[in-house]
Chain A
Amino acid sequence: MRYLPLTDADRSEMLSVIGVRSVDELFRDVPEAARLKGKIDRLGDHMGELEVDRALSAMAAKNRAAGAGPFFVGAGAYKHHVPSSVDHLIQRGEFLTSYTPYQPEITQGTLQYLFEFQTQIALFTGMDVANASMYDASTGAAEAVLMANRVTRRSKAILSGGLHPQYRAVIETTARWQGFEAVGAPVDATGVEDLAAQVDKETSCVVVQNPSVFGHVRDLSPLAKACHDAGALLIVVVTEIVSLGLLMPPGEMGADIVVAEGQSLGVGLNFGGPYVGLFATREKFVRQMPGRLVGETVDADGQRGFVLTLSTREQHIRREKATSNICTNSGLCALAFTIHLTLLGEAGFTRLAELNHATAVKTADALAQVKGVSLLNGTFFNEFTLKLPKPAAPVVERLAAKGVLGGVPVSRLMPDDPAVADLLLVAATETVSDADIAALARALTEVL
């Protein structure tokens, strides 16, 4: 019971100050029938630090870590090198064990880093303002659609076929239960898709991912124009934030809302969560934006300081009239993200993006040489789609048996679509070495 400071002597002294004989008396409002007698079965008793460490380490050892060999898995989560100082800094107790900054005088640390974070997001997305983060990009995308519905007072969202299928599923679930229409465009793995033709006067927004889930990089300016002409908003989703070190930002292409996954910087894979959703928009929409916001102000001495602001949009004030029910953000992941990006800075972020792209180009070219394999992408950033001569899912299993995690079979994301069975998504980041590329090409040759 190393986390519990009270001694039995403390407890009896405290009970006497309270004026009761036993702690059971403090639970007297619990109906007799609802009281648990004895201890709960089938759960073990308390364990020492060594025992817990041993038990959970054994469980961890049953997983193959991404760093254990050649690794090319992406599709919305990416393996990148995280500088050592990031994890060191986020483990400082003053960050790690602090709560929502409701008392700004003694939480300027959290508030300032979130203000810096918001600024960074606005800068590299090319947008005016960003919030202090969302749960992740998939839930952020659903919130973006809800926001577009509020702004346009319309209720039909058009979802690109190049949108990550799990993001699409999250939006469709939200649509089903929050009462709007979500229209999915047909999937085309080659990247051909005319979303502009589908925009009409009922459309609240078009949701498009760039690079797409298949890796294609598109100029969204014509689509933005089509949306704006019809009074709809363009929502751009970015699952690989490193791409924005090299690519024209969505804001410059005319996006109204940008939702991005920040996992690539600072956060790590973590088997899918927690991640950090980035959410940016135009100044004029700021009061319709979901999530938490930090703003600059002055204190009683006129010194610059930061506070949570525009909270009149939020659930704790507006209750059933709030813009969303979200009452937290991904503070600690946002901290990791912002520290990593601060370490990179202008030069490092650009360099990291170039390194990712060049590595992916080398990987794609090497794999396209493998007999029977063809590359579907004319354009990509650090992830692309291969067409294999046989179903991709068993190929990936055989690659894994050879020690190479070779990518994501598209069928894993789209199990209902037989047309994608032979497609393989391959991601190559700066962590991929020439030897890794050679190992994948060799293993792929052997298993095909």
Chain B
Amino acid sequence: MVQSLDRSQGRSGTLSASGTTAPTFTGNRALQLEEKLIFEMGQPGRCGVDLPEPPRVADRLNGLRRRGAIGLPGLAEPQVVQHYTRLSQKNYAIDMGVYPLGSCTMKHNPRLNEKIARLPGFADVHPLQPQSTVQGAFELIDELARWLKTLTGMPAVAMSPAAGAHGEMCGMMAIAAALAARGESQRKTVLVPESAHGTNPATAAALGFVVKPIPATDDGHVDVAALKAALGSDVAAIMLTNPNTCGLFERDILEVADAVHAAGAYFYCDGANYNAIVGRVRPGDLGVDCMHINLHKTFSTPHGGGGPGSGPVVLSDRLAAYAPRPWIVHDVTGWHAAEEGTSVDGQPLGRLKAFHGQMGMFTRALAYMMSHGADGLKQVAEDAVLNANYVMARLSAEMTPAFGGPCMHEALFDDSFLKDTGVSTLDFAKAMIDEGFHPMTMYFPLVVHGALLIEPTETQSKEALDQFCDALLHLARKAKSGTAVEDFRAAPTMAPRRRLDETLAARKPVLRWKPSNNPPTDAPTRQAAE
């Protein structure tokens, strides 16, 4: 239960660390300002842009002019700038500190990348302008492709997938196409370890494959015996993440790849964790047939509150022919994009997305690669792994690692250190917020009870890691002391909001503002989702 507060004044005030309310007239808390929705602050007659009077012409709209107002608010530029600046201040960000989201990988986003992506020659070019006028853009795509192929040791890459999960779709479509070309479309089973990201089974199922889970061993690896037992003439592919979501390298990977190939199936590697091995291990040497690469995770493209992503897919020789359009090709006259096939049959995959892919992300990723170089990328993987193992070693004093070490880029704990304390995994994570940190990934992977997955990445300093570890060790000791259970359950108390009622949001969805909207009220469920 959370502490109940007097809400009779409309504004509830804020809760101090000691649990007492300190109401202010405005509801603001010093620089933490309450902010209305734009729809509650607009005035007719205000506008944040100046546009000229349109020339008078007879319209050609077929009598289909909009009748009545849209309902958009009117705000002047300073109001808009203040609004979004205030909103920004209610966000945690990698620019502020440690952001240890395991499997999501938040690393420093260099501003040089932003500068390069905004050069007019990249940002202000149209995908359908004459190809002769965009030779540099094709060159950039090809150069990024060269880096990706060389780093992964794979012969081909499909650049167009818009995000990691889209890349999974691309890779699994290529596998389906290759099987169809072999006349083996009866292979309908895809083996997916239980620790996989939810996108893996979702992608396979969307393409009509039957998903067969493969269990994990007690030490957090894929159960190779179970995997081999599941291989047969019905199996199309295995989707394996390596390093896996337990933060471990699948040490039997070569044996797995051989068994998969011997059974006539393909090996899809989920490349979400490629950042742990870039420059040190080439997936091509592991027997991988295709692997998507989340550019933001390994090559630092910014994630802006959730996207945009970019998920190029590297492909083995066996699958290269099934890459979707467009294909970027070079001949004596220069670069070309082969945009369309002569028929869908002549080009098994067709097209996954309009135009040429996430160019704005390509630019940033290439700037990052060139900044690090082949030497630096190796160091990236090493520092990421070193940082994760350091965090694991230090936190092991009070927390319980799920498996023995070493880990790769992320350290996985279970919640057994909280046993009998009355503090839940969620409480513990929320308490980190008051200490000034974004919580780690919770309850994932599913194979570990009360999982706490910490990924520090290579761009955190030792000082930052020590501060982070000290805070977590303090919280772990505090939880075990048994004297502060209520503090944990009330956390966070100093964030812009206290625990939000997620159950209410799902049960009575309010997905847009309406003039009559009042904040939803539903007293019995008005408590934090536990």
Contacts and interface: CB of A to CB of B under 8 A. Distances in A.
Contacts of A252: 67
Interface in A124-178: 124, 128-130, 132-133, 135-139, 164-167, 169-170, 172-173, 176-178
A53 B121 contact: no
Nearest to B464: A5
B363 interface: yes
B383 A6 contact: yes
Interface string A389-430: 000000011001000010010001101100000000000001
Interface string A81-95: 001010111111111
A40 B374 contact: yes
Contact of B66 (A249, A318, A344): A249
Given A116-B37, A295-B506, A309-B502, A272 B198 contact: no
Contacts of B72: 120, 123-124, 341, 344-346, 349
A107 B91 contact: yes
Interface stretch (B158-166, B224-232, B470-478): B158-166
B406 interface: yes
Contacts of A272: 126-127, 354-357, 359
Contact of A298 (B109, B324, B339, B520): B520
B332 interface: no
A85 B120 CA distance: 17
Interface residues of B, number: 227
A218 B64 CA distance: 8
Given A108-B87, A115-B512, A129-B511, A52 B310 contact: no
A170 B354 contact: yes
A351 B392 CA distance: 58
Q: What range describes how many residues of A lie at the interface? A: 35 or more
Contact of B351 (A34, A173, A296): A173
Contact of B93 (A42, A96, A318): A96
Contacts of A249: 66
B7 A301 contact: yes
A273 B162 contact: yes
Contact of A331 (B165, B304, B310, B325): B304
A95 B286 CA distance: 38
A326 B355 contact: no
A177 B81 CA distance: 45
B356 A63 contact: no
A39 B306 contact: no
A351 B47 CA distance: 11
A107 B90 contact: yes
Contacts of B121: 57, 59-63, 65
Nearest to B302: A96
B176 interface: yes
Given A14-B390, A297-B500, A62 B375 contact: no
B22 interface: no
Find the residue from B72, B177, B354, B378 having the highest chain A CB count within 10 A: B354
A139 B352 contact: yes
A33 B211 CA distance: 31
A310 interface: yes
A66 to B, nearest CB: 5
A346 B69 contact: yes
Contacts of A270: 122-123, 125, 359-360
A1 to B, nearest CB: 6
A29 B403 CA distance: 14
A300 B499 contact: yes
Contacts of B356: 271-273
Contact of B306 (A166, A268, A328): A328
Contacts of B61: 217, 246-247, 357, 379, 381
Contact of B303 (A98, A112, A113): A98
B30 interface: no
A73 interface: yes
A248 B354 CA distance: 26
A247 B61 CA distance: 7
A361 B202 contact: no
Contact of B304 (A1, A40, A332, A339): A332
A186 interface: no
A381 B146 CA distance: 42
Interface stretch (A18-26, A195-203, A440-448): A18-26
Interface in A327-376: 327-335, 339, 341-352, 354-355, 357-359, 361-362, 364
Interface in B1-47: 2-3, 5, 7, 11-15, 27, 35, 37-39, 42, 44-47
B359 A52 contact: no
Contacts of B181: none
B203 interface: yes
Interface string B143-164: 1001100110000000000111
Contacts of B251: 29-31
B361 interface: yes
B88 A95 contact: yes
A113 to B, nearest CB: 6
A317 to B, nearest CB: 7
Interface stretch (B133-141, B261-269, B413-421): B133-141
Given A109-B90, A295-B505, A379-B60, A43 B150 contact: yes
Contact of B433 (A27, A103, A138): A103
A269 interface: yes
A106 B85 CA distance: 15
A25 B114 contact: no
A3 B497 CA distance: 33
B497 A330 contact: no
Given A305-B500, A345-B73, A348-B51, A329 B62 contact: no
A332 to B, nearest CB: 3
B386 A346 contact: no
B359 A335 contact: no
A117 B204 CA distance: 31
Nearest to A261: B354
B118 A326 contact: no
Contacts of A33: 254, 285
B358 A273 contact: yes
A190 interface: no
A231 interface: no
B81 A85 contact: yes
A290 to B, nearest CB: 11
24 contacts: A2-B371, A29-B406, A45-B374, A56-B366, A60-B120, A62-B135, A65-B125, A66-B124, A67-B124, A92-B84, A95-B93, A114-B305, A129-B511, A170-B350, A217-B64, A273-B355, A293-B511, A294-B511, A299-B497, A301-B7, A327-B163, A327-B199, A347-B46, A355-B54
Which 3 residue pairs of A and B lie closest in terms of their CB atoms, listed nearest first? A332-B304, A272-B355, A60-B121
Given A25-B406, A39-B374, 17 more contacts: A33-B254, A34-B282, A56-B363, A62-B136, A63-B125, A66-B126, A67-B124, A83-B77, A89-B88, A90-B304, A96-B109, A115-B512, A218-B62, A219-B62, A309-B506, A343-B75, A415-B339
